[in-house]
Amino acid sequence: MRYVLRKLGFYLLAAWVALTVNFFLPQLIPGNPVDDLLTKMSQAGPVPVGEQQVLTRLLGLGSGNIFQRYWQYVDGVAHLRLGLSISNFPTPVSAEIGSAIYWTLVLVGTATVISFVLGIALGTLAGWKRGSRLEAIIPSTTLLTAMPYFWLALILVFVFATNVWHIFPAGQGYNTNSFINVGWNFTFIGSAIQHAILPALTIVISSVGGWLLGMRNMMVSTLSDDYVVAAEAKGLRPRRIMIGYAARNAVLPSISGFAISLGFVVSGAIAMEYVFSYPGIGFQLVTAVGNDDFPLMQGIFLVITFAVLGANLIVDLLHGFVDPRTRLSR
Amino acid sequence: MSSRPWRARMIGTPAAIAAAMLLAACGSSGGTTAGSGSSSPSASSNSSSSLLTITTGAAGTFQDDFNPYSPNVEDPTNGMIYETLFFYDTAKAGVVDPWLGTSYAWSDGGKTLTVQLRHGVKWTDGKPFTSADVAYTFNLALKNAALNKFALPLKSVTTSGPYTVAINFKQSAYTDAYYALGRVDILPQHIWQSVKDPTTFLNSHPVGTGAFELSKFSGQVFTLTANPHYYMPGLPHFKTIRFLAFSGNTTSDAAIESGEVDWAGSFIPNIKQTYLAKNPKFVVSDIPLSTAFLVPNLVSGPTSKLAVRQAISAAVNRTSISNTVYNGYAPPTNPEALITPNYNSVLDPALASAAFGSPSAAKAKSILTRAGIKTPLNLTVDMVNGYTDYLSDLQIMVQELKPAGINLTIDQPAYTQFTSIQDTGKFQLLMDNFGYTPTPWSYYYSILDSTITKPIGQVDTVGNFGRYKNPEVDTLLSQIADTTSASVQNPDFYKIENIFTKDLPLIPLFEQQDEIEFNGNAVANYPSVTNPYGAPAVYIQPDMGWIAARLVPAK
């Protein structure tokens, strides 16, 4: 129990630090939302003198010094009030994030699971049959992992969407050019899946190599362990040794890595979402930064931070139970 | 390129957001198929006579926001749903058509504006429109400064009878007429008086007087249907309007090129081949509405010297840039930078045929030498990152200026950073465009008046970013503002035009390209240079609504 409390205390502190950084970091970006809005307005005709004050008031900005605003912010977060978005004023930030997060959770979540399962399965095989031709997939997948994310996405778009074959759509979450009711109907889900394939492929291709390599290396070291030798000596079937003895132990480190990467799912894959104009959190974050939309930026950072912290906390706690060595000595 | 005001569009404006650029970089061979995978049934919209499909370009997703006070309001709010008292034609200075008002008169030296209202107008919920609604609307701005969208110097509003309203100002407000009469949306008192906080009200079910009412809304598409009881006889002609959102220029361009969209304002590279050649009835309506400039810093640095500005102006080949980058759709402007034919009514007849001399690097160099300026001269020009057409323009200028002894370096800060550089005046040269107003006074005021500027380093959000200061121009501008008589104003305009030509406070380049695409298979009676009854640019309100009611389905 003491272990749990200590962990919780630590995470509380980490959350506060993250919260504070969340607040101050965006403020360091040059420019401010009112000036941006005015510049945009001035491109559709001259802006009347005095417009700046009107907008500042309308957006409810500029009240109090930075510490007062910091206090308002902390108070708001404590009451789960994230404020109003500026780039989509007066839509609340929570509604903005709510509209984007499901796209990211479903797409990036599914892709992460697929990538993990695929990586572990291939890694198990590669580790089991070390020295065989199967090992060739290791350098090729790590090469794909090393390739910049957005570049891979662009190549996929080039080949499968715009220039070589017109198989998949080049962007967006679903076919937005026809009347599709967003909801549980086949037209929408079909369209959403079709639009998700290339983005998901990007994630899987670029992350499978990491899981594969880690799993394969753990397999190799596990296979030389005594209990595997013992299992072989008992005359168990190779398949059973591979899965039940070696892989089961080798997968442990990957599982905790997986839990953490699930936390990062929330942040989406910014480059991927940007290239595909996918209506998720990552794309929203880029737009928010481009518009100096501080409340939205803070809201998104907050959600990401808490998701990652939460995932870490769960892994930490689970480790405490699974592996007694990580608990306190007393 | 097209500049348009809001949110994602602002990044995506003049050219394309980076994502779209990446995609475009990836493949510009653009097929005829729409960017989306499944072919859309809406392609048949061309044959259906009563559906008008519009896109305002890379808008991301639509927000359910029809509050005219919101800075992110959806485009049709102003003009299609709500209406103003009068319609100021952004494409033709001096044309003011009656809308909710029928006539107006100034009194008390420009401090009182009395408006006669139209009879028999009804809100879409059936309640009658009266002077109480107009008074309510102006009182909102009077009571809550945050709702005084155009910073009007309001004092009080009085009504006499249901069809007469008098708006009183604290000071002479002739130049505010355009905002008070032509930009303030009149709201229904019976609905808005129960709104708790109009600043954060989303107004998802707007009730207006306009020719169209909102019927169906989603993040990617929303539809408006014709107001069956609209007070202007025979209008609107289209029964349904559909707005489409695209996340990038690539997808929106594909939809425009396939004829799926009937009215759009997207910058389509190489438009003659990629759009006009696709269908004989595809039309580009290109009415000059603003001017692209190189804005020099007039306070410090080499650009504060007239000779440097003259040399740049002399060396740049405007015609060749227009042809290379814009397919000729952005012709060179004139030395007085007056937007023609829009502002022809205030053009000095002596300048009517003024034009830039033929570009010559040798001439530019001799201007510099005569002024004793050492070459090579190093200059930096700032432009917004992602405005690809401006980048092409400037790259050509770099080549043209080199033989004249000017080394031009292009800086491409991100949008927000550009805003800060422009507002604080911390630049040598920057490329931007100004215009989009039906009043020539407002145009010259925003680029030349020194009373709106702040010292270098302080934020100036209104205009005159180069910090031009000429007391004579300031006086002329305030004289024009003090009267409504054209015969008094015009000589002052002529003087400003001549001073501009001599001082070169900004280096005029070309008419800002405003390519607006109309699909002639579906739409007729769209505005054009010969019939500029409104500015067809989809991002100019309320012109868009005025025009939408007057577009006719093609037979």
Cβ-count burial of A224 within 10 angstroms (0-12 exposed, 13-18 middle, 19+ buried)? Answer: exposed
Q: Which residues pair with A92 in a beta bridge?
A: A84
pLDDT tens-digit series, residues A73-126: 888 888 878 888 887 777 888 888 888 888 888 888 889 899 999 999 999 988
What span, in angstroms and rounded, lies between the C-alpha atoms of A38 and B462? 8
Q: Closest-CA residue in chain A for B38?
A: A175
Tell me which chain B residue has its CA closest to the CA of residue A275.
Answer: B19
- The H or E element that residue B255 is part of is helix B249-257
Angle at which helices A33-42 and B415-424 cross, to 10°: 80
Helices B486-503/B471-481 angle, 10° precision = 160
Whole-number pLDDT of residue A100: 86
Mean pLDDT to the nearest integer, A173-184: 67
Query: Is the separation of the CB atoms in B502 and B495 below 8 Å?
Result: no
Instruction: Give the pLDDT score at B7.
Output: 28
Residues of B in contact with A46 (CB under 8 A): 434, 436-437, 442-443, 445-446, 462-463
Is the separation of the CB atoms in B204 and B217 below 8 Å? yes
Between CA B18 and CA A243 the distance in angstroms is 47
DSSP string, B25-79: HH-----SS-SSSSPPGGGGGGTSTTEEEEEEEE--S--S---TTSTT--GGGBT
For A271, the closest chain B residue by CA position comes to B19
What are the CA-CA distances from residue B209 to residues A205, B81, B229 (Å)? 55, 6, 9
Q: Which residues in A lie closer than 8 A to residue B37 (C-beta atoms)? A: 166-169, 175, 191, 194-195
Cβ atoms of residues B221 and B229 within 8 Å: no
The answer to whether B42 contacts A178, with C-beta atoms less than 8 Å apart, is yes
Domain extents for chain A? 2-78, 93-327
Q: Which residues of A touch B446 (CB under 8 A)?
A: 42, 46-47
In angstroms, the CA B87 to CA B85 distance is 7
From B47, B95, B56, select the one nearest B78 (Cα to Cα). B56
B119 three-state secondary structure: coil
Which of B23, B27, B462 comes nearest A47 by C-beta? Answer: B462
- Asked if A45 lies within 8 A of B63 by C-beta distance, the reply is no
What is the C-alpha to C-alpha distance for residues B553 and B555, in angstroms, rounded to an integer?
Answer: 6
Q: Residue A181 — pLDDT band, cuts 50, 70, 90?
A: low
Check if the beta carbon of residue B514 is closer than 8 Å to that of residue B253.
no
B131, two tokens: 């002077």
| A276, closest residue in chain B (CA to CA) | B19
pLDDT digits 0-9 by tens, A40-79: 777 777 777 778 888 888 877 766 677 888 888 888 888 8
- Shortest distance, CA A181 to any CA of chain B (angstroms): 8
Nearest CA among A176, A17, A284, A69 for reference residue B252: A176
Distance, in Å, from the CA atom of B62 to the CA atom of A176, rounded to the nearest integer, reads: 11
Record: contact B437-A45, CB cut-off 8 A: yes
Return the CA Rg of chain A. 25
Return the CATH fold of A93-327: MetI-like fold (1.10.3720)
> Quick check: bond before B236 cis, omega within 30?
yes
Shortest alpha-carbon distance between residue A190 and chain B (Å): 10
Residue B286 is encoded by which pair of tokens?
């290109």
Q: Which of A28, A29, A43, A172 to mutate to test the interface with B (most CBs of B within 10 A)?
A: A43
Q: What's the confidence (pLDDT) of residue A328?
A: 58
**CA distance linking residue B178 with residue B442, whole number of Å:** 10
Which residues from B are below 8 Å from A60, CB to CB?
A: 199
* Best CA proximity match to B381, nearest among B319, B279, B439, B302: B302
The nearest CA of chain B is from the CA of A138 a distance in Å of 29
d(CA B173, CA B175): 5
Judge if the upstream peptide bond of residue A46 is cis by omega within 30 degrees of 0: no
> How do strand B154-159 and strand B101-107 relate by DSSP bridges?
unpaired
One-letter amino acid for residue A227 of the chain: Y
Closest Cα of chain A to B233: distance in Å? 31
Residue among A272, A212, A265, A301 at smallest CA distance from A25: A301
CA-nearest residue to A195 within chain B is B37
Q: Which residues pair with B263 in a beta bridge?
A: B54, B518
Query: Which of A200, A202, A304, A213 has its CA nearest to residue A253?
Result: A213
User: Which of B18, B34, B416 has the CB atom closest to A31's CB atom?
Assistant: B416
From chain A, pick out residues whose CB is under 8 angstroms from the CB of B437: 45-46
User: How is residue B410 written in tokens?
Assistant: 């292009």
Q: Token pair of B322, please?
A: 């227009």
Domains of chain B: 290-512 (3.10.105.10)
Rounded CA gap, B154 and B111, in Å? 9
Return the number of other C-beta atoms located less than 10 Å from residue A233's C-beta: 8
Q: Which of B238, B230, B249, B324 is nearest to B524 (CA)?
A: B238
- What pairs with residue B282 in β-bridges? B519
Nearest residue to B207 via CA among B97, B124, B326, B290: B124
Q: Please give the Cα distance from B47 to B49 (Å, whole number).
A: 6
Distances (CA, A) of B213 to B77, B209, B242: 9, 9, 12
Question: Contact A100/A249 with Cβ under 8 angstroms?
Answer: no
Task: Report the residue of chain B nearest A156, measured CA to CA.
Answer: B26
CB B2 within 8 A of CB B513: yes
Determine the Cα–Cα distance for residues B201 and B192; give it in Å rounded to an integer.
10
CA distance A30 to chain B (A): 6
pLDDT tens, residue order, chain B (555 aa):
333 333 223 333 333 333 333 333 333 333 333 333 333 333 333 434 689 999 876 566 788 889 998 887 888 999 999 999 999 999 999 899 999 999 999 999 999 999 999 999 999 999 999 999 999 999 999 998 888 888 899 999 999 999 999 999 999 999 899 999 999 999 999 999 999 888 888 898 999 999 999 998 887 788 999 999 999 988 899 999 999 887 667 777 888 888 889 999 877 888 888 889 988 999 998 899 999 999 999 999 999 999 999 999 999 999 999 998 888 888 999 999 999 889 999 999 999 888 998 999 999 999 999 999 988 899 999 998 878 889 999 999 999 999 999 999 999 988 878 888 998 999 999 999 999 999 999 999 999 999 888 899 888 888 899 999 999 999 999 999 998 888 999 999 999 999 999 999 999 999 987 889 999 999 999 999 899 999 998 888 899 999 999 999 987
Q: Is the pLDDT of residue A276 over 50?
A: yes
> Using alpha carbons only, what angle is made at residue B245 by residues A181 and A284, rounded to the nearest 5 degrees?
95
Q: Taking CB atoms and an 8 Å limit, are B40 and A175 in contact across chains?
A: yes
Could you tell me where the DSSP H helices lie in chain A? 2-27, 33-42, 51-58, 66-78, 93-128, 137-146, 149-157, 186-223, 226-233, 238-240, 248-250, 252-265, 270-275, 281-290, 294-322
Q: Which two tokens stand for residue B240?
A: 């349904």
Helices (H) and strands (E) in chain B, counts: 16, 20
How far apart (Å, rounded) are the C-alpha atoms in residues B53 and B472?
49
For B256, the closest chain A residue by CA position comes to A177
Answer yes or no: do B23 and A157 touch at CB < 8 A.
yes
Q: Which of B36, B67, B463 minimises the CB distance to A42?
A: B463
Handedness of CA A123, A128, A133, A135 (dihedral sign): positive
Question: Tokens for B12?
Answer: 């995506």
Chain B CB contacts of A291 under 8 Å are 7, 10-11, 416
Q: Which of the 8 DSSP states describes residue B359?
A: P
pLDDT confidence of A142, banded at 50, 70, 90? confident
Best probe of the A interface among B9, B29, B63, by most A CBs < 10 A, is B63
Closest alpha carbon to B515 in B76, B66, B3 = B3
How many beta-carbon pairs under 8 angstroms link A with B?
233
